[in-house]
């Protein structure tokens, strides 16, 4: 069976309830023939950390929103939940969901780990939109995967009183933070969080002469497409994404004139 708008495969995406970045960025990232449907992760908790814990606990339940839609891959666009759950709990849940549903289940954090692995990147830099507590959990998560967090550039603005401190950020904040790492001795840089706008910042840094720059959404899109193809992650398929092949042109085409 072939879907009209997804002849190469349909992805079921789990997205935090107020995240305003996932759908726009992924719809620019997907190559022609790939599409996604979206389900919202819900929580009534007041704090960001408590909501992230709820999201992780309801991944399996939230997949039920897709009913019998013929998704080929499911993914969770929520890095913070992985930090708080930790490496072992995340791996266990991923295995359980894959066994239950029969399709690949990816998380944004594990997609980033895969990207670092295929690039043989060990010494990494983080561009972080997080407050201190989540920053610490993030560092611990990457370290648990054998990575050295050698530098952190903060894009967090404690004075931001908008509806959400991350989702309401401008992409320029991520670019400015990343530029502070240009001369650092790093193997790669990742812009964290699926809610921080990152595509324009990455596009602006394609030829900057610093370490390769990626984001959680970009890595998750790459991994999801490779999973649809039933291909193991490798550097040869990642590098076109890092070069901006395809998606930079789509980003430019939809920019306001």
Mean pLDDT computed over 103-111: 99
What is the domain partition of the chain in residue ranges?
A: 9-254
| pLDDT band at 130; cut points 50, 70, 90 | confident
Provide the whole-model pTM: 0.94
Closest CA to 245 of 202, 186, 209: 202
Residue 171 φ then ψ, to 5°? -60, -25
Q: How far apart are CA 94 and CA 32, in angstroms?
A: 27
> Which class does domain 9-254 fall in?
alpha beta
What pLDDT was estimated at residue 203? 97
Q: How far apart are CA 122 and CA 19, in angstroms?
A: 30
**Mean of per-residue pLDDT scores for the chain:** 93
What pLDDT was estimated at residue 168? 52
């Amino acid at each position: 069976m072939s879907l009209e708008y997804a002849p190469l495969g349909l992805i079921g995406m789990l997205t935090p309830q107020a995240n305003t970045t996932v759908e726009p960025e992924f719809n620019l990232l997907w190559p022609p023939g790939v599409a996604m449907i979206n389900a919202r992760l819900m929580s009534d908790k007041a704090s960001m950390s408590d909501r992230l814990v709820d999201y992780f606990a309801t991944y399996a339940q939230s997949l039920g929103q897709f009913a019998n839609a013929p998704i080929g891959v499911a993914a969770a666009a929520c890095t913070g939940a992985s930090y708080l759950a930790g490496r072992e709990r995340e791996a266990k849940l991923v295995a359980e969901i894959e066994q239950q549903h029969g399709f690949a289940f990816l998380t944004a954090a594990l997609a980033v780990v895969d990207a670092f692995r295929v690039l043989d990147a060990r010494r990494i830099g983080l561009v972080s939109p997080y407050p201190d507590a989540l920053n610490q959990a993030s560092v611990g998560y990457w370290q648990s995967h054998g990575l050295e967090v050698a530098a952190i550039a903060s894009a967090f603005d404690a004075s931001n009183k908008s509806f959400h401190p991350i989702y309401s950020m401008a992409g320029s904040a991520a670019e400015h933070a990343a530029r502070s790492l240009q001369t650092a001795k790093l193997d790669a840089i990742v812009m964290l969080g699926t809610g921080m706008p990152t595509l324009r910042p990455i596009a602006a840094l394609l030829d900057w002469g610093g370490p390769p720059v990626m984001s959680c959404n970009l890595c998750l899109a790459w991994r999801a497409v490779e999973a649809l193809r039933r291909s193991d992650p490798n550097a040869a398929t990642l590098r076109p994404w890092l070069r901006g092949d395809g998606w930079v042109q789509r980003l430019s085409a939809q920019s306001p004139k």
